[in-house]
Structure 1
Amino acid sequence: MDHEKVNILLVDDQPAKLLAYEVILKDLGENLVIASSGREALEVLLKTEIAVILVDVCMPELDGFELAAMIREHPRFQKTAMIFISAIQVSDIDRLRGYEMGAVDYVPVPVVPEVLRAKIKVFAELYRKTRELERLNHELEDRVRARTAELESSTAKLRESEQRRSMAIAAGKMGSWDWDWISGDWMWDEGQYRIFGVSPASFEVNPANVQALLHPDDVDQLRKAIAEFNKGTRAYETEFRIVRPDGEVRWCVGTAAATVDESGRVVRVSGVTVDITERKRAEERQNLLAREVDHRAKNALALAQSIVRLTRADEVKAYVNAVEGRINALARVHTILSLSSWQGAELSRLIDEELAPYSLGDQIRLAGPEVQLLPATAQTLALALHELFTNSAKYGALSTRSGRLAIDWQVENELLTLSWKESGGPLVMTPKSRGFGTRSLLASIESQLGGQAQFDWRAEGLLCRLEVPLTRKTATTAPGKFDTAGSAELQRASG
């Protein structure tokens, strides 16, 4: 399927290598942007939206690490994927430095074309899907962005401040250690004790005590490292978890290097431990956010699809107006939910948003406590209120200046009861059959929320009562003079 191309920035001071990368990545069908130096790369970034940056570590004037640091300092590029290419053996410290600067991966030289294409493709697809979701949210949240512009500006400044603070305390999240392979003596620096949450005065560093602080599922990592050094391995790197004495679990990345004597026997192992818990948590939050955004977007599209599919009208103009009205109602409640980070919506706010298109003065009276609705309940109830307002404006009390509308609501035992009372409008006749809007209102309240929508077609004006559980439990109502549609009619309404 055709898709919008994204820009991939290739940064290297050697034209031959740039040409090789172009040949390898050509089959991906993306836009390849070339930069022969770090400064040229910065100029490109300021002018072009870049999805992935492929950068050589070793370049004159401005090397890959320095370029990465400058890119990460700019709030616009804090999440841009960067892959380092190194033609020399990268040391463990350099590798850690690269990750600290924001690299997402390393590719050694000689480059394996299939591996490079696969890595670039993953980040390009992630960037593309992210942009698609952003465009969808832009269409649904124009009003939200306008209202939150000041908040976004403050957030960007806070993010810059947090980045500077994180860089300042980065050294505090790193520890070093030394292990005499012959005598068994250990040496930890202050940072190592701090990472493990123990005190130098009370904690004796030895294999048994260190193993006791490792997560049970990661103990084999230590044993494997020792076995590797015994087999002749000179360097080892792994991620592992520790369990501090207070029970807190922390993620770390450890690198170790062996020192050998003239016969090749290991005599000392030294290493560095870096606390990467915050990075792990950020990755988890990012994955959760991506899934949540995808879920909400699919739900919004499903609701819009249902509105388009179920709306009926005898004329094209009437159909368009009906669909636009319902979509706008959905957009309004989406705006409210977005402002609350999808925690919920206040009932009074939903009613105010539906009243906004009308200039009704004192024709409407509202009374009721503050009620916080769950997102799914708010969406369904907003569409139901839209149908009531639309019908009243066309045929009921709100169609004349003399008409009056009273909306009251209360909550008891997690059951919301909303009363809609019209008066002073045109003479009301009990309809021979319910229109599509009324039937869809009934279907949504009863089948989706487990509530009841009841109507009394009085001559002086419609009286409607909506009963909606604030949880997913089905509400029951004592019998009265109200009538409720049967399940067969609800099936026909949604068919």
Structure 2
Amino acid sequence: MDHQRVNILLVDDQPAKLLAYEVILKELGENLVIASSGREALEVLLKTEIAVILVDVCMPELDGFELAAMIREHPRFQKTAMIFISAIQVSDIDRLRGYEMGAVDYVPVPVVPEVLRAKIKVFAELYRKTRQLERLNQELEDRVRARTAELENSTAKLRESEQRRSMAIAAGKMGSWDWDWINGDWMWDEGQYRIFGVTPETFNVTSANIQALLHPDDVDQFRRAIAALNSGALAYEAEFRIGRPDGEIRWCVGTAAATVDESGRVVRVSGVTVDITERKRAEERQTLLAREVDHRAKNALALAQSIVRLTRADGVQAYVSAVEGRINALARVHTILSLSSWQGAELSKLIDEELAPYSLGGQVKLAGPQVQLLPTTAQTLALALHELFTNSAKYGALSTRSGRLAIGWQSENDLLILTWEESGGPAVMTPKSRGFGTRSLLASVESQLGGRAQFDWRAEGLLCRLEVPLMPKSAAASAAQDRFDPNTFPELQRALG
């Protein structure tokens, strides 16, 4: 190791002696620290790491013995080497007292330079080696701690891995096997038996019996794996299906690794089988969902396209307002259907959403049981209700504070019957011709849903009756309900005017 200089404290009240000690000890190449009193020496010790203390016994205020006693009381300096210098002849009792105070040696005056240097050098080197040894011990302890932590971490990971493997095996998701390539013996663990749906008591593990449990379409894969291993492949992985004795089909992924002898011949094959049936089913559900999302998106776009194409208005602003209203109605029902994962929409929720843009207080009364609508029925009926609300807010009962609207519904034999009754609003006259809103409502309810819409333009307010089938009458009708194409409906074409 490189020579590391240490600090040597020289304590004496006479500057001439301190200068002499400096000259004598300069050859050692260490750091010499000067203190002219006991108190100054204590201050230095508190601030500096000292290897050896050279202290005069006879000093005013605080002599060498008293200073040594104070130094030894501090835990940090209990092992610091102290050498006493005495200008007087000390007795054995004084020597004993000095040793009790912590002195390691005495140097008489006059000082012999070679003797003083030798003594200081010995204790400085001892201090240096002690510190080096402490550093090495610390480094060793740090390495031991680091290695211990590394081993503990590895052990924890191994234990966690084993726990996961045990859990996988216990859940029937993973199994391991071993195949003696020479004599054909197989060995399965518990997880392997569980995946294949057999037990050690009832199933004899042989190549022929294993092949019998494979799905007929995947038997060739088993043969290809054997051929690949025979041709020198050291590993093989494949997905395959098995048919359990109870008739259930399970998806698995198998990984095999070959062990060869010195000549390169396969002697043993070991592997792991993982049941991935749930993953496969999830992938199938995801694929179906993606197709469904695509289907719904196309339907929504077709419906929006029909709104844009079929809307008529006297001016640009009126046209924009009408289109925005119908698109917003479509968006509201889309939100309801999304929250139900496109399983359907409850009628009262649909009405509440269409009613939300209007601040009507107690002008509207709703009455009817819970009725669940199919997605396409909900979309079409939402647009029909939007037309009714819009017309009523513009010209009917909802255009005045005194107006009242009662919406009631019931279901009979899978037929929804909804009544819309206005009263208290402006006087109503039977229109000479049907407006676009009325014509599109008729077209959507009658052509799209196969229902019927009736209007009674009473003087006291509009009375409308909608009859809508809740269930398609056939598979063809179901497909038609789930496919929106405005070009297939004559009423909508006539609504174009």
TM range (shorter): 0.5 to 0.7
Aligned partners of 2:368 and 2:409 also within 8 Å: yes
Q: Which residue is 2:219 aligned to?
A: 219
- The offset of 1:316, in angstroms, is 1.6
**Following TM superposition, by how much is the alpha carbon of 1:191 offset from its aligned partner in structure 2, in angstroms?**
2.1
Residues 45-84 of structure 1: pairs in structure 2 closer than 5 A: none
Whole-Å Cα distance in 1 between the matches of residues 166 and 452 of structure 2?
59
% same residue: 84
Opposite residue 205 of structure 1, the aligned amino acid is: V
- SS of 1:468's equivalent in the other structure is strand
- Asked if structure 1 preserves the Cα contact closer than 8 Å seen for 2:242 and 2:252, the reply is yes
Q: Which deviates further from its counterpart, 338-347 or 466-475?
A: 466-475
Q: Secondary structure at the match of 2:328?
A: helix
Q: Does the Cα contact within 8 Å between 2:187 and 2:205 map onto a contact in 1?
A: yes
Match of 2:41 in 1: none
Q: Within 2, Cα distance between the matches of 1:337 and 1:277?
A: 30
Q: Matches of residues 131-280 of structure 1 in structure 2 within 5 Å?
A: 169-170=167-168, 173-280=173-280
**Which residue identity lines up with residue 492 of structure 1 in the other structure?**
R
User: Could you say which residue in structure 1 is the equivalent of 2:495?
Assistant: 493
Deviates most, 348-357 or 221-230 = 221-230
What are the within-5 Å matches in structure 2 for residues 69-148 of structure 1? none
Give how far 1:367 is off: 1.3
Partner in structure 1 of residue 432 of structure 2: 432
After superposition, the Cα gap between the structure-2 partners of 1:491 and 1:293, relative to the gap in structure 1 and judged at 3 Å, is: closer
Paired with 1:235 and 1:494, the residues of 2 have a C-alpha distance of 68
Could you say if the C-alpha distance between residues 243 and 392 of structure 1 is closer, same or farther in structure 2, counting changes exceeding 3 Å? same
Query: Who is 2:42 aligned against?
Result: none
Change (3 A) 1:167 1:316: farther
Q: Secondary structure at the match of 2:228?
A: helix
Corresponding position of 1:411: 411
**CA offset digits 1:116-143 (Å, max 9, x no partner):** xxxxxxxxxxxxxxxxxxxxxxxxxxxx
What are the Cα deviations for residues 426-454 of structure 1, in whole angstroms up to 9, with x where unaligned? Answer: 11111111111111111111111111111
Quote how far apart the aligned CAs of 1:289 are: 2.2
Distance change (3 Å), C-alpha of 1:488 and 1:203: closer
Task: Answer yes or no: is 1:443 the counterpart of 2:443.
Answer: yes
Q: TM-score normalised to the size of structure 2?
A: 0.61
Deviations 1:293-319 (A, max 9, x none): 222222222222221121111112211
In the alignment, residue 332 of structure 1 is paired with which amino acid? R
Q: Residue in 1 aligned with 2:83?
A: none
Q: What do residues 223-267 of structure 1 show as CA deviations (whole Å, max 9, x unaligned)?
A: 222233333433322110112223222211112233333444333
> Does the C-alpha gap of structure 1 residues 435 and 337 become closer, same or farther in structure 2, counting only changes over 3 Å?
same
Where does structure 2 lack aligned partners over 5 or more consecutive residues?
A: 1-162, 478-488
Structure 1 residue identity aligned to 2:494: R
8 Å contact from structure 1 (residues 450, 473) kept in 2: no
Q: How far off is 1:328 after superposition?
A: 1.1
CA 1:454–1:168 in 2, change beyond 3 Å: closer, same or farther? farther
Distance 1:366 1:166 in 2: 57
User: In the alignment, residue 384 of structure 1 is paired with which amino acid?
Assistant: A
What is the letter of the counterpart of residue 248 of structure 2?
A: E
State the SS of the aligned residue for 2:448: helix
SS at match of 2:430: coil
Q: What is residue 289 of structure 1 aligned with on the other side?
A: 289
Q: Which residue in the other structure is 2:346 paired with? A: 346
Whole-Å Cα distance in 1 between the matches of residues 376 and 228 of structure 2? Answer: 55
Residue equivalent to 2:381: 381
What is the aligned length? 321
What are the within-5 Å matches in structure 2 for residues 271-350 of structure 1? 271-350=271-350
Q: Which amino acid aligns with 2:392?
A: S
- Per-residue CA deviations over 1:391-433 (Å, capped at 9, x if unaligned) read 0111111111222211111111111111111122111111111
Displacement of 1:286 in angstroms is 2.3
SS at structure 1 position matched to 2:351: helix
Contact 1:175 1:273 in 2 (8 A): yes
How far does the alpha carbon of each residue in 1:133-174 deviate from its partner, in whole angstroms, 9 at most, with x for none?
A: xxxxxxxxxxxxxxxxxxxxxxxxxxxxxxxx9899456532
Structure 2 residue identity aligned to 1:399? S
CA contact (8 A) 1:330 1:379 kept: yes
Name the CA shift for 1:167/1:261 in 2 (closer, same or farther; >3 Å): closer
Q: Is the 8 A contact 2:447 2:491 kept in 1?
A: no
Q: Is the 8 A contact 1:395 1:426 kept in 2?
A: yes
Bigger Rg, which one: 2
Cα RMSD (Å) of the superposition? 2.4
Question: Does the 8 Å CA contact 2:436/2:495 hold for their aligned counterparts?
Answer: yes
* 1:457 partnered with 2:457: yes
Question: Aligned pair in 2 of structure 1 residues 305, 166: CA closer, same or farther (>3 Å)?
Answer: farther
Contact 1:440 1:494 in 2 (8 A): no
Q: From the superposition, tell whether residues 435 and 413 of structure 1 become closer, same or farther in structure 2 (CA, over 3 Å).
A: same
Question: What stretches of structure 1 of length at least 5 have no aligned partner?
Answer: 1-164, 476-486
| TM-score normalised over the length of structure 1 | 0.61
